[in-house]
Amino acid sequence: MTLDEYNSAVKQIMAEQQTIAQSTAQLAMSGQANPTNPQFTQIMTRQWALIQQMAKLNADLMVGVMTPKK
C-alpha cells in the first residue's frame, strides 16, 4: 500500500463516519438511538468495523508496510 492509497482509504473511512454521525444524530433526535433499535445497532456495528479498519491502516503505516509510489 502506498501513502496515496492509505490517504484514499482514510478519506473513505472518514466519509463513512460522517454519514454514520448524521444517521446517529437523526436517530437521537427522534429518540430512537438506543441498543434495542436494530437500525441503531447496525449503525454502531458499522462504526466499530470502521474503527478497526482505521486501526489496522494506522498499524500498517507504523510498522512500515507501506511501499514507495512507483
What confidence category does residue 63 fall into, taking pLDDT thresholds of 50, 70 and 90?
Answer: confident
**pLDDT on residue 64:** 78
| 60 or 38: which leads in pLDDT | 38
Using CA atoms, how far apart are residues 43 and 19, in angstroms rounded to an integer? Answer: 10
Note the pLDDT of residue 66. Answer: 62
Every domain of the chain and the residues it spans: 3-62
pLDDT tens for 36-59 read 999 999 999 999 999 999 999 999
Determine what percent of the chain is predicted with pLDDT higher than 70: 91
Q: Are 43 and 23 in contact (CB under 8 A)?
A: yes
Mean pLDDT for the stretch of residues 63-70: 68
DSSP string covering 17-63: HHHHHHHHHHHHHTT--STT-HHHHHHHHHHHHHHHHHHHHHHHHHT
